[in-house]
Amino acid sequence: METISSRDMQILDTNCEYYGLSRLVLMENAGKGLAEEIVRRFEYGKVFIFTGGGNNGGDGFVAARHLKGFDVEIYLMTEPKTEIAKKNFEICQKAGMQIFQGCPDKIDADIVIDAMLGTGVRGKLREPYATAVDMINKGESFVVAVDVPTGLNPDTGEYREVVRADLTVTFHKAKPGLLKAKEVCGEIVVKDIGIPASFERLCGPGDVAHSYFRKDDAHKGEHGRVLVIGGGEYTGAPVLASLAAYNSGADIVTTAVPESIKSIVASYSPNLIVRGLKGDAITMKNLEEVEKLALKHDVVVMGMGIGENDEFPDFVEELLKTCKKAVLDAQGIVREIPEDCDCILTPHRGEFRKVFGEEMDEESLMRRARQTGCVILLKGREDYITDGKRIKINRSGNAGMTVGGSGDVLAGVCGATLCNDDAFHAACSAAFVTGLAGDICFDEKAYNFTATDVITALPQAFKRCMSIE
C-alpha cells in the first residue's frame, strides 16, 4: 500500500488549490467517499458524527449530506475553523440537520463517525476530545475513522488515547502511521479524491508555506544563521547569495570572502556582515578560521564567484566535515559529502555533467543523489529536485531568470530555508519561491530584470505563498 506523510499530504492539498483543484472539491470528494463506504456496509442506521474544527470535521459535514436515509446527528467538539469546513457546516445548518454542541449524554448509535482531529493530532488529547474518545471506545457502535483515528500520530503510529476504529477511510494515499497501528485502525480503505498523480511531483506554494518558519517570541538568530563563503574573481556573487538569504527569512548572514575584496563586498549593502579571509583566494590555508565560523552558523552556503581556484574543491570537502548543513553551488559542488551533513547541490546541466561525468536525466539524477547522500536541485527551464528516493519538478520562473546572478540568489534562498528544514523540503521550497519572485519581476518589468530585482521580490513571493495556505 502506497503511503504519504501527513506533511506531504498537507503540501499537496495546498498545491492542488494553486493548480486549480480547489480544496472544497477535494473535501466534497472525501466526504462523499466516506459516505459510500458506510452505505456499502449498512442499509440504514442511526449515525453520530463527532467533528473537530479542521477539515477533518468538514469531511464529516459532507458525509452527513450524502448519508440519505440514515438518521444522522452531528456533535461539534468545537466550532469549525477553516473556511471550507465552515461552508459545509453552514450547508448542514440550512438543511435542518440535527447539530449539537459537545458530547452526547450517551452513544446509542449504530454507527459512529470519528471526524475530529485526523492528521492534526500530536501528543496528549485535550478536552472535549479525550472524553469523546473514551465514550466512543466504550460504546458498541461500528466506528469509522476519517483519514486517521483521533489520537493516532499519522506518521509514526504512536498513540496514547486513541479512537479504536472498525474502519478507517483515508484519502489519496494511506498515512504511514495507519500501517504501523492496524490494531486501532480496523479495515483500511483508501479513497481516490481526484488528485492527479502528477501533482505530487510539482512544487508549489504549499512547499513554501510548510517550510517557512517564524516564531513570535523568537530571539535573534533563532530563524537561522547562514554563512556564505565565496568571491574571488567575482565580488557580486556572494553578496547576492547573502542578501537573498536575508530576504528569505534568515536572521544572521555572515559573508566570508578573500581579504583582498572585503571592502568591495562590504560596500554593496550596510546589511552585510563581512569577514575577510587571508589572501587573494580561498584555499586550504583558510580552513581552520572558516571551520570556527561554520560552527557558529546553522547552514554554510559556498561556491559562488570563486572563479579559477584549483584548491577550492579540497577546501570544500574538508570543511564539510565540520558542517551539519550545507548548500553547494558553482565551484563548490563536489561529490564527496559526509554522511552526517544535510546537503543541497545546485548545479545546472553543464555543472552536473562536469562533476558527475554524464548527461542529466531523471534516472541519473536520482542515482547521483543516492550515491552522494545529498539532495540535488538541478537548475533549468524546469528545476528537478531529488533525494534519490523521490523527485519533484518546479515550473515557476521565466526566461528572464537566465540573467547572471540568479543561481547565486537561489543558493542564498536554499541556505535560509535549510536552516529550519530538511534538505529535500528546503530545496523544493527555495526553487518555487525563487521562481515566483522572478515571475513577480516579469509582471512589472517583462524580461528586463536583474538578480537584485529578484531578491527585492522575494518577501512578496513568500507572502503570496503564505496567503494561499
Residues in a beta bridge with 384: 378, 393
What are the pLDDT digits (tens) for 152-163? 999 999 998 999
Rounded Cα distance, 97 and 38, in Å: 19
122-126, 155-159, 324-328 — which is least confidently predicted? Answer: 122-126
**Amino acid residing at 423:** A
3-state secondary structure (DSSP) of residue 34: helix
Rounded Cα distance, 105 and 305, in Å: 70
DSSP-derived secondary structure for 11-29: HHHHHHHHTT--HHHHHHH
Measured in whole angstroms, how far is the alpha carbon of residue 242 from the centre of its chain?
23
Q: What is the DSSP letter of 152?
A: B
Cα separation values, 239 from 85, 273, 453, Å: 46, 10, 14
Residue with cell 538568530: 221
Q: Are 275 and 258 in contact (CB under 8 A)?
A: no
The edge-to-edge listing of strands for the beta sheet with 273-277 is 273-277, 252-258, 225-229, 299-302, 325-328, 342-345, 375-378, 383-386, 391-394
pLDDT of residue 81: 93
What is the domain partition of the chain in residue ranges? 6-201, 211-468
35 has pLDDT over 90:
yes
**Domain 211-468, what fold?**
UDP-N-acetylmuramoyl-L-alanine:D-glutamate ligase (3.40.1190)
181-185, 232-236, 297-301, 334-338 — which is least confidently predicted? Answer: 232-236
Cβ neighbours of 421 (radius 10 Å): 22
Instruction: Please give the model's pTM, rounded to 2 decimal places.
Output: 0.92
Residues in a beta bridge with 274: 255
Query: What is the mean pLDDT of the segment spanning 311-333?
Result: 94
Rounded Cα distance, 437 and 450, in Å: 11
Instruction: Name the CATH superfamily, with its identifier, for domain 6-201.
Output: YjeF N-terminal domain (3.40.50.10260)
243 has pLDDT over 80:
yes
pLDDT of residue 120: 64
Q: Per-residue confidence at 467, pLDDT binned at 50, 70, 90? A: confident
pLDDT of residue 121: 67
